[in-house]
Copies of this chain bind each other. A is one copy, B any other.
Amino acid sequence: MNITVDRTRILLDTIKRLLRRGASAHLHKIINKTHAADLAVVFRFLTLREQEAIFNLVDDVEHEAMLFSELEEEILIKLIEDMPAEKIAGILEQVPKDDVADLLGKLSDERSKTLLDLMAREESEGVEGLLRYDEETAGGIMLPDFIALKEDTTATEAIEALQRDYADIEMPFYLYVVDDHGHLVGVISLRQLVVVTPHTQLKAIMATDVVSVQTETDQEEVARIVARYNVLAVPVVDENNRPVGIVTVDDVVDIIREEATEDILKMAGAGEDLVESQSIFRSTRTRLPWLLASWIGGIVAFLIIGHFESSLNKLVYLAAFIPIIMGMGGNIGTQSSTIVVRGLATGTINTKQIWEVVFKELAVGFFLGFFYGLLLGLVTHFRYDLWLLGVTVGLAVMSSMTIAALVGSLVPMAFARINIDPAVATGPFVTTSIDILSVFFYFQIATILLRL
């Protein structure tokens, strides 16, 4: 079922065995014919000493550079800690500039400057340009290398330019066309260039409805655009519509993955990054604060129930319904907030639709609450032969579920509206307030209906 993972597992086992045996020659051979992406996964499961041993066996600087690109940042930072700066700089010259900028952004200013000074001028300038932008914007993730040609360039001239000036471009699948002022006016794919007659001018074949993004566009938005228009790369333009870089689809794939993971983990209050190498201590620390919200909510629920102590004293088995009333509310609240948070993330829900979305969830919550409330009411009635108790717990489940659907949809919509990340705010806020409200309404209904 899981080919990639299984293959990596076999590779990892082999490498560990050879490391134990000290079989350098064999190890050397395996490492140099393994894809850097696979080695990067293996590195996650090795100690720093083992990682260093393997890295030293990599033959050419290009393979080293690919490994730099593929390694998780945390692992890479530790790995280069004791490496001579000259060696690092030499490797970084071969690494795509967006990855270099990401790495340097994580190092101390001093170390980052040292490395930039050691790199070839042409490379370091490109990287410095990227470091100016926020890491999570189009400017922060773009590659500054792209192909821009004038409108009157012919197909033959374009191919020549490609061979002469743009031999180093990572993904030369689109050629961008600019006017005399450098403004982006069109785009041509490499395949179009290959199939037209040699003297055709670019302006005759270019598409003029270029989808582009601004340097400060959020990376999630960039990902949405690439996904929607099915393009392999999107050009990034400055405030004057002059191209300054491109974001390629392979980076977008990573962004979509990361953003989805981030949203899922944030909603569960389990941090932002899925770092498996995280220690037990660190994992505990990440998850501690979110649970505090839930702890405080529990204390409030405790105080509410304490407030109704005299009612409870008169009818002690009211307590037995607490789990089902809280549980039903909590679960439907999670459904509602999940649907809204994911809808906002993928763009199927718009913040302007707030009342439409909330009303729909409220209606769904009401119907589901009616169904499960009736079910519980009937069961209770037949068990205790007390129809008023049945009505009480039935109404409690119904109100709990309706309120939960309301809170679960309204809170993320409202947060998104005022530009607070709905995923991070939703988890603790929604769960805790639903717990409190459910318990309060339950005892309030019981006290009134049962005259306790």
Please judge, given known A-B contacts A295-B376, A305-B320, A324-B299, whether A274 and B348 are in contact too, CB under 8 Å: yes
Whole-angstrom distance between the Cβ of A301 and the nearest chain B Cβ: 4
User: Is A338 a contact of B227 with CB atoms below 8 Å?
Assistant: no
A75 interface residue, CB < 8 Å from B? no
A121 interface residue, CB < 8 Å from B? no
Please judge, given known A-B contacts A287-B364, A372-B291, whether A265 and B227 are in contact too, CB under 8 Å: no
State the number of copies, please. Answer: 2
A140 interface residue, CB < 8 Å from B? no
Distance of A217 Cα from B298 Cα, bound (Å): 47
Per-residue interface assignment for chain A, residues 34 to 46, with 1 indicating a CB less than 8 Å from any chain B CB and 0 otherwise: 0101100100100
Distance of A311 Cα from B221 Cα, bound (Å): 57
Whole-angstrom distance between the Cβ of A202 and the nearest chain B Cβ: 16
Q: Give residues of chain A (258-273) contacting chain B, Cβ–Cβ below 8 Å.
A: 260-261, 263-265, 267-270
Stretch at the interface among A85-93, A112-120, A180-188, A325-333: A325-333
User: Is A287 a contact of B221 with CB atoms below 8 Å?
Assistant: no
Distance of A324 Cα from B306 Cα, bound (Å): 13
Please judge, given known A-B contacts A35-B229, A295-B324, A298-B327, whether A287 and B419 are in contact too, CB under 8 Å: no
A387 interface residue, CB < 8 Å from B? no
Q: How many residues of chain A are within 8 Å of chain B by beta carbon?
A: 120
Per-residue interface assignment for chain A, residues 350 to 386, with 1 indicating a CB less than 8 Å from any chain B CB and 0 otherwise: 1110000000100110011001100110010000000
A343 interface residue, CB < 8 Å from B? yes
Distance of A172 Cα from B232 Cα, bound (Å): 12
Residues of chain A having any CB pair with chain B under 8 Å: 1-5, 9, 33, 35, 37-38, 41, 44, 159, 162-163, 167, 169, 171-173, 190-191, 194-195, 209, 211, 217-218, 221, 224-232, 249-250, 252-254, 256-257, 260-261, 263-265, 267-270, 274, 276, 280, 283-284, 287-288, 290-291, 294-295, 297-299, 301-303, 305-306, 309, 312-313, 316-328, 330-332, 334-335, 338-339, 342-343, 346-352, 360, 363-364, 367-368, 371-372, 375-376, 379, 419, 431-432, 435, 439
4 more contacts with CB within 8 A, not counting A169-B191, A268-B339, A331-B431, are A3-B221, A295-B324, A298-B324, A298-B376
The 7 A-B residue pairs with the shortest CB-CB distance, nearest first, are A298-B324, A319-B319, A260-B260, A301-B323, A268-B338, A305-B320, A230-B250
